[in-house]
Structure 1
Amino acid sequence: MDTEDTAELLLPRSRAANERLHALIPGGAHTYAKGDDQYPENLAPVISHGRGAHVWDVDGNRYVEYGSGLRSVSLGHAHPRVVEAVRRQLDRGSNFVRPSVVEVEAAERFLATVPTAEMVKFAKNGSDATTAAVRLARAATGRRRVALCADHPFFSTDDWFIGTTPMSAGIPDATNELTVAFPYGDLAATEELLARHPDDIACLILEPATHTEPPPGYLEGLRELADRHGCVLVFDEMITGFRWSEAGAQGLYGVVPDLSTFGKALGNGFAVSALAGRRDLMEQGGLRHSGDRVFLLSTTHGAETHSLAAAMAVLDTYAEEGVTARLHSLGERLAAGVRDAAAGMGVGDHVVVRGRASNLVFATLDEHGRPSQEYRTLFLRRLLAGGVLAPSFVVSSAVSDADIDHTVDVVAQACAVYRKALDAGDPSPWMAGRPVKPVFRRQA
């Protein structure tokens, strides 16, 4: 084994900061997907600051960063237009006892961008919005059960979803029984599920697309099934919103859900999410109807002026600068480079880039073609050593051609080591510690 194969990136300050994090914060981070268990042992950088497509850790290392802010920072860190919009609002106050005029301006701007929706309500995170959609669907239909897409990884931190994961501790069985699942792309299975629970499923909730495109007619078929069985169709557009098109996947594919949820890219890192949808449904959470009131969304910080100002700046930037098209162009260039690099090193069947160009992920497969956390660990170690922080290959619009060229060079070096590990039939000498771990697992 060559010396350069095991070249060590030393992060003493990050290691010390991680110890402090774990001493004070359960899990050492405020989001499980940011946990140091997601990274090779002793190689979890703690970030000092970021600008554009680059971040610096507390040890002074600079990285090209992908998947920024769990896909939320799609324009790059400290984007000048967003920062200036926020700064203007900070001098005017951030929260009042009555709605700010910024709230109506942001709603108008959002609904002009996502014209398939008729009303919108803002919150701070995606779980707020998806759970509000579920509650509204139950109230509108008088039904108990939620049907979610089993092939999509995350919908909410709330019980109705977390009870379906291996991390279901603390959630009563009676709650778990009210959530059922359907497979993505299989209309027949979904129809069978609806028939098995007649007049008892309040909504179908799914991401309209992920690492695979919806099969022809699939979303249209779901729309028809929801109408025929009297349930609410909910699109979780936390990821697809703005990355698939400025109007989300619903704008790209032309299928209109009853309700949809947005977040992540909406604020370019600032905390803002949205529940949007049909007026007759959304109004049930308002004051202009004669039925039972629905406690839809009521968050003290949901309409902070600076976050809504950030959202408006993001929406304007996307529309005026063609950001979605740029994300696709950058992603296509990166995907082609990574695939060529992997193929050139003889691991094209093992380091696999998947997904829409604006939302690329990668798989690390073992000698039998099975997903491998051990090989992922090896791959991530080499990327980090080369100055690439990449839990995914999701680009921001701040990524440059030079960043992509550098990334592809580093990937090629990583793939050379990957090939040696495959030939040896054992990646452990190149892991230098325990493997990275999946987020959803029963034991810590």
Structure 2
Amino acid sequence: MRLPRSVLANERLHAMIPGGAHTYAKGEDQYPEDLAPVISHGRGAHVWDIDGNEYVEYGSGLRAVSLGHVHPKVTEAARREIDRGANFVRPSIVEEKAAERFLATVPTAEMVKFAKNGSDATTAAVKLARAATGRPLVAICRDHAFFSVDDWFIGTTPMAAGIPGEITGLTVSFPYGDLPATEEVLREHAGRVACLVLEPANQAEPPAGYLTGLRALADRYGCVLVFDEMITGFRWSEAGAQGLYGVTPDLSTFGKALGNGFAVSALAGKRELMELGGLRTGRDRVFLLSTTHGAETHSLAAAIAVLETYTEEGVSARLHALGERLATGVREVAASAGVAENVVVRGRASNLVFGTLDAERKPSQDYRTLFLRQLVTGGVLGPSFVVSSALSEADIDRTVDVVAQACLVYRKALDADDPAPWLGGRPVKPVFRRRV
């Protein structure tokens, strides 16, 4: 496969945009050399690049487009509001309707405030926790990849350039699934931890009793429990992971699936905390979320349509069914090719990722490059196997066929003890790295 127009477009993008994309995870370095398609358009679970190639797409919009591109109900809702005005000097009635629908869908939350991106919502949760407790430290789960673009988190990653150590020093970490180790962190920093921030689940299901135990620890040590539901929200269940597992956090943040590609996120939680950012508190006020575009009518209308679609059509169950079909197929063809221990599928069925391991069963960027090259040239685009509800069973079966061919090449590379002949250029790279 050759992508001459995409290659030229990538050069132009790099000339004008740092990194060549507005999101690092969409960067050219995440794809094999000269195989980073620039997208023209999409519909359902398919996208077309500017060279005219069609792909079955996974991980759409970094997990955001869970209903598929140009979903008719969502698109019509947004279009209707655009014709009525996008932004006003006072709240629109759409804000009330969106809040009402959200709180009906996620009944464990008592109040909600909308924004445009997940980073702002999660940082707002941290700010609320610090204001409510009067404590400076944030404790984050070290086993979860991303929480915010803001300094309190990014300062803990290899891309910490430009962030003072004094800020980084206000963030500590704890391991997922280990209550004794988390309690040790709270003891070590007694009376200084404002909040525990984590994804309630990700690639691994929470151990039995873990989230309940974490809830008890937060109460015992007087800190705020924050669930980052950017990924789990709606994909795990219509009521989020908190609804599925039956553990209510003090605050939670949502985004991605909430807008099906439209820019909308949410901070939700207990009234006593949320009101610190409102007009009905006797305490010092918190400048919570106050964004010019936070209440754009078309994005909130899209969110309403998404929430209605999820609850009325049982989208979460469909995502799980599609993911199960895909995971089963991939595991079968990997086993047939003799690479079952090298090409692995992980995670909840609605949120699958793949691992590419070398002969010693260690993660390998070289083998990831080989695998991605085979997927892209076979007409499958995706850095993961995260499904959208727009996928058909035929799409899944086609993907499994492409993976089967990729696994045969993978086996050849393992037998040769050298994937280099199949890379086509430099290997793909992790997002978080200190140097380019």
**Is TM-score (shorter-chain normalized) higher than 0.5?**
yes
Indicate which of 105, 108, 115 corresponds to 1:116.
108
> Residues 359-418 of structure 1, C-alpha deviation per residue, up to 9 Å, x if partnerless?
000000000000000000000000001000020000000000110110000000000000
Correspondence for 2:235:
243
Correspondence for 1:4:
none
Correspondence for 1:125:
117
Aligned residue type for 1:327 = L
Indicate which of 24, 44, 49 corresponds to 2:41.
49
Indicate which of 14, 19, 31 corresponds to 1:22.
14
Matches within 5 A, 1:213-228: 213-228=205-220
Correspondence for 2:390:
398
Indicate which of 275, 284, 289 corresponds to 1:292.
284
Q: Distance in 2 between matches of 1:116 and 1:401?
A: 34
1:158 and 2:150 are equivalent in the alignment: yes
1:360 and 2:352 are equivalent in the alignment: yes
1:149 and 2:141 are equivalent in the alignment: yes
Matches within 5 A, 1:249-260: 249-260=241-252
Correspondence for 2:426:
434
Indicate which of 202, 206, 210 corresponds to 2:198.
206
* Structure 1 runs (4+) greater than 2 angstroms displaced: none
Matches within 5 A, 1:229-240: 229-240=221-232
How far apart are 1:432 and its partner, in Å?
1.1
Q: Distance in 2 between matches of 1:91 and 1:421?
A: 56
Matches within 5 A, 1:43-442: 43-442=35-434
> Residues 214-253 of structure 1, C-alpha deviation per residue, up to 9 Å, x if partnerless?
0000000100000000000000000000000000000000
Q: Distance in 1 between matches of 2:121 and 2:190?
A: 26
Equivalent pairs, count: 436
Aligned residue type for 2:339 = V
Correspondence for 1:38:
30
Aligned residue type for 1:301 = H
> Residues 69-102 of structure 1, C-alpha deviation per residue, up to 9 Å, x if partnerless?
0000000000000000001001100100000010
Q: Distance in 2 between matches of 1:382 and 1:212?
A: 27
Q: Distance in 1 between matches of 2:182 and 2:309?
A: 39
> Residues 153-181 of structure 1, C-alpha deviation per residue, up to 9 Å, x if partnerless?
00000000000000000000000000000
Q: Distance in 1 between matches of 2:255 and 2:281?
A: 28
Correspondence for 1:5:
none
> Residues 101-130 of structure 1, C-alpha deviation per residue, up to 9 Å, x if partnerless?
100110000000000000000000000100
- CA RMSD after TM alignment: 0.3
Q: Distance in 2 between matches of 1:258 and 1:308?
A: 24
Secondary structure of 2:42's aligned partner: strand
Q: Distance in 1 between matches of 2:251 and 2:49?
A: 40
Secondary structure of 2:363's aligned partner: coil
Q: Distance in 2 between matches of 1:333 and 1:58?
A: 31
Aligned residue type for 1:275 = L
Q: Distance in 2 between matches of 1:246 and 1:295?
A: 30
Q: Distance in 1 between matches of 2:3 and 2:107?
A: 48
TM-score by length of 1: 0.98
Segments of 5+ residues of structure 2 without an aligned counterpart are none
Aligned residue type for 1:114 = V
